[in-house]
Structure 1
Amino acid sequence: MGYSNGEIVEVKGNKYKRILIDLTKEVLEEDILPILMNSLNDSGYFFNLNGDKLAFLFREIDLGNFKERIEKFKNFKKLYKILTELITKIEAIKSYGIKDGKRVYIDYDGERKVKGRRDKENHRGKFFYALHHKFKKDNNKLPAEFENKIICGDSEKVLKKLPDNCIDLIFTSPPYNFGLEYENHNDAIEWENYFTKLFSIFDECIRVLKYGGRIVINVQPLFSDYIPIHHIISKFFMDKGLIWKGEIIWEKHNYNCKYTAWGSWKSPSNPYLKYSWEFLEIFCKGSLKHEGETNVSDLTSDEFKEWVYAKWDIAPERNMEKWGHPAMFPEELARRVIKLFSFVGDVVLDPFNGVGTTTKVAKELKRRFVGIDISPEYCKKAEIRLSQGLSLFDSDSY
C-alpha cells in the first residue's frame, strides 16, 4: 500500500495539500469507506475516493481531534491501519503554521506585502528609544561561586556582587503589591516606594545582563488601583535603553476571578473590567539577537511555531498551597520562556525566585541558574524542588 507525499492541488478554486493512498482490494470491498468519508470530513479537510485510491485533502487540521475521530474505526482493522499510517504521513510534514490550535498547511506563511518594506522600516527607524544606550558589548563569565545557586538575601545587594554582562536570560515575576501573604515581604506598600525598590533591583538586572540578553517580566496590572504595572515597567526598561521585543498574553482561563466585582452594575457610570490573563513583557539589551549556536537550541519545530504565536493558553499553578506560596507561575510558563529565549548552557537568573520554579525548570533544561529571594523559607523550598541539593547562602554572606 503506497502513499503520496502531500503535494498541493486545487479543488474548486481552493488549494489543498493532498495525500493519495493506494487501497487494497480487501479494503475496497468493505462498505465502510462511504461512512468514513461522510463522518470524518471537516471544514478544513475531507476524503475523496477515486478508483482504487483514497485521497485525503486538507488545508488545516486539529490533529488531536482528528486522532480521536479515527478511533471510531478501530474495529475495522485494515482501514484503521490505513488511517494511523495517514497520521504518520501528516505528522511528517514539517512546514505549517499554528492557528487556534490547528496546524495550517495552506497560506500559513502568507502576509500582507508592503512595497519597499525594508526601505520604509529604515526611514521610520527601529527602536529609536533605545539608540541612546551605552551598553558594553564585552560579556563576562558568571563567577563559579554564583553558578547553580539559590541565594537568600536582598536581590539588589546580591546582584551588586555579580560582574557586568554575565547573565543570558532573566525571567521573573516580581511581587505585584496586591496585598498577598508572602514570607518576609509586605505586599501592600505605597506605589512610589514599591516602584523605587523594584527599579533599583531592575537597574542591577540590566547591568548584569549580557549584551544581546533578554529580560522577561511576568506581571499583572492591579486593576482595582488603576495601576498599569506592565506599562510602567515597560516604560522603565525603554527609558533605560532596552529594546522592547514583544509582549505575550498568558491566558490562564481563570474564570473564577471574572464575577467577583462589577463596579457599576448594569450601568456605564463605572463598570469594572475583568481579565483572565497576565502579561509577559520581553526586553533585549543592546541587540535583538542573542548569540548562540543553533545546535545547542532544544526547541522543536512544533514548539517554535506554536510559541511565537504570542498568546499562550496555560492553566495557573495548582500546587501553591503545597509549597506555601501565594503567587507561583506554572512550570510550563517557565519552560516555554527558557527554551524560546535561551540556549542550552546559558545562565538564567530569577531575582524574585520564590519557591524556585524558574531555577527548577532551568536545571531540568540544562541551563545554569541563579535564584535569589529574601525569604529563607522560600529558598529552602526552592532547594527541595531541585533534583540535587545545593548550598544555601544566607544574607549575611552577601
Structure 2
Amino acid sequence: MLELDKIHCGDNCDLLGQLPRECIDLVVTSPPYDDLRTYGGHSWDFFGVAWQLKRVLKPGGVIVWVVADATKDGSETGSSMEQALHFKRLGLNLHDTMIYEKSKAHVFDPRQHRYKHTAEFMFVVSKGKPRVFNPIMDLPVVNSGVVHKVRQRLPDGSIRSDRTVTLGDWQARGAVWVYEGGVGHSTKDAIAFEHPAIFPDALASDHIATWSNPGDLVLDPFSGSGTTAKAAKELGRRFLGLEINPEYCAIAERRIAQETLELEAV
C-alpha cells in the first residue's frame, strides 16, 4: 500500500498496481486529452488506468473524469465520450454527465466556423449506486416555505399531480457548474500556475464535498499541480496523488506543504 497523504512520483499504472483492491472512495482527476498539452513529453495508457481504477474503487465509489475534445481536421475527436463508454464496458455506471463551464469570455474567431469551446465534460462514473451524495445547496429559493404542487409527465403521456413539496430556503444546483478559469481565477495559489493546465480549486472541492465524507480516501492519478490533493486535505479527507512528471510532483508537494504551514500559523 502506498503511503497516504502524499504525492507519489512515477507511472500511474505501476503505482496503482501497488494499491489493494477496493481501497479508494473517490477519484477526482483531469487526465491529459488529445495532445492539447505536451506535459513534458510523458505518455499514458488510458485502458490500463481505467482497468486499475475499477480495481481499486470501493463498491459505491465514484470517479470524476474531467475531459474535453480537440478538433482535428475539422472534426471533434469524440475521445471524451469514448472514454466514458469504455468505463461502462468495464462494468461501471455512467452515473451523470456534468459540464464544467468557464465563465470568462473567450475570443470568437469566425474563421473556425464554430462557436468557441468554453466547457468540458465532468463524467461521474460509479461502481454501483454512489455510496455518498451530499448535494450542494447553494441556489436561493424565492418562494421559500410555499407548498408547491409537483407535476410529472408519465410514460403514457398523462400528468401526475397528486404530490406536493414545501420549498426550503435553498435548493441544489444543476449539473452545469460554472467557474472562473485562467490565471488569477482558478486559484489564488501562485505556485499552481507553474503547471500548464490547472482546473479550479473550487471544482475539486465541490466534487470532493459531494461524493465523499470526511475521512474518506481521495485519489488523483494525474495529480499535476496537486489541486485535488490540496482540496481533499482542506476538507478532512485522506489523499493520494500520482504524477509521472518530477517537476509537477515538486509543485504539488510545495502547495500541500504551504497549506500545512498556513494552518500551523493559524
2:208 to 323, 326, 338: 338
Is it true that 1:259 corresponds to 2:108 in the alignment?
A: yes
Q: Deviations over 1:341-361 (max 9, x none)?
A: 111111000000001000001
Query: Which residue of the other structure, out of 66, 69, 79, is the alignment partner of 1:221?
Result: 69
CA contact (8 A) 1:221 1:229 kept: yes
- 1:237 and 2:109 aligned: no
Give the deviation of 1:289 after TM superposition.
3.3
Identity rate, percent: 36
Task: Give the CA RMSD over aligned residues.
Answer: 2.4
SS of aligned partner of 2:124: strand
**Structure 1 Cα separation of the partners of residues 222 and 137 of structure 2:** 31
Q: Which structure shows the higher strand fraction?
A: 2
Deviation at 1:177, TM superposition (A): 2.7
SS of the equivalent of 1:146 reads coil
Normalising by structure 1, we get a TM-score of 0.52
SS at match of 2:88: helix
CA deviation after TM superposition for structure 1 residue 201, in Å: 1.1
**In structure 2, what residue type is equivalent to 1:312?**
W
Aligned length: 222
Q: What's the offset of the Cα at 1:291? A: 5.8
8 Å Cα contact 2:220-2:241 kept in structure 1:
yes
| Aligned-partner residue type, residue 171 of structure 2 | K
Structure 1 position 388 matched with structure 2 position 260: yes
The within-5 A match list for 1:294-305 is 301-302=137-138, 305=171
Q: How does 1:11-26 map to 2 (within 5 A)?
A: none
Correspondence 1:38-117 to 2 at 5 A:
none
| Post-superposition CA distance 1:253-280 (Å, at most 9, x none) | 3432x524633xxxxxxx3343211110
| Greater Rg over alpha carbons, structure | 1
Aligned to 1:275: 117
**TM-score, normalization: structure 2?**
0.76
C-alpha displacement at 1:300, in angstroms? 6.3
Q: Secondary structure at the match of 2:247?
A: helix
CA distance in structure 2 between the partners assigned to 1:206 and 1:366 by the alignment: 24
CA distance in structure 2 between the aligned counterparts of 1:171 and 1:289, rounded to whole angstroms: 14
Amino acid of the residue matched to residue 183 of structure 2? R
Say which structure is richer in helix.
1
Q: What's the offset of the Cα at 1:290?
A: 0.7
Tell me by how many angstroms 1:221 deviates.
1.2
1:313 corresponds to 2:183: no
2:211 is aligned with 1:369: no
1:362 is paired with a residue whose SS is helix
Q: Give per-residue Cα distances to partners, 1:317-368, cap 9 Å, x unaligned.
A: 4258853212100100001110011111110000000010000010000000
Question: What displacement does 1:170 show?
Answer: 0.5
1:288 to 101, 122, 129: 129
Separation of aligned partners in 2, 1:216 and 1:335: 12
Report if aligned partners of 2:217, 2:237 keep a CA contact under 8 Å in 1: yes
1:212 equivalenced with 2:69 (yes/no) = no
Q: Take 1:311 and 1:370, find their aligned partners in 2: how far apart are those partners?
A: 27
Please report how far the alpha carbon of residue 180 of structure 1 lies from its aligned counterpart in structure 2 after TM superposition. 1.6
Q: Relative contact order (C-alpha < 8 Å, sep 6+): which is higher?
A: 2
Q: Is the 8 A contact 1:183 1:378 kept in 2?
A: no
For residues 277 and 214 of structure 1, what CA distance do their matches in structure 2 show?
21
Contact persistence 2:7–2:249 (CA under 8 A):
yes
Cα shift readout 1:18-65 (whole Å, capped 9, x = no counterpart): xxxxxxxxxxxxxxxxxxxxxxxxxxxxxxxxxxxxxxxxxxxxxxxx
Q: Residue type matched to 2:203 in 1?
A: L
CA apart distance, 1:282? 0.5
1:270-319, Cα deviation, whole Å (9 max, x unpaired): x334321111001111x213169xxxx6x764388334x10111111425
1:193-252 per-position Cα deviation (integer Å, ceiling 9, x unaligned)? x7xx11211111110000110011000111335211221111100111111110111110
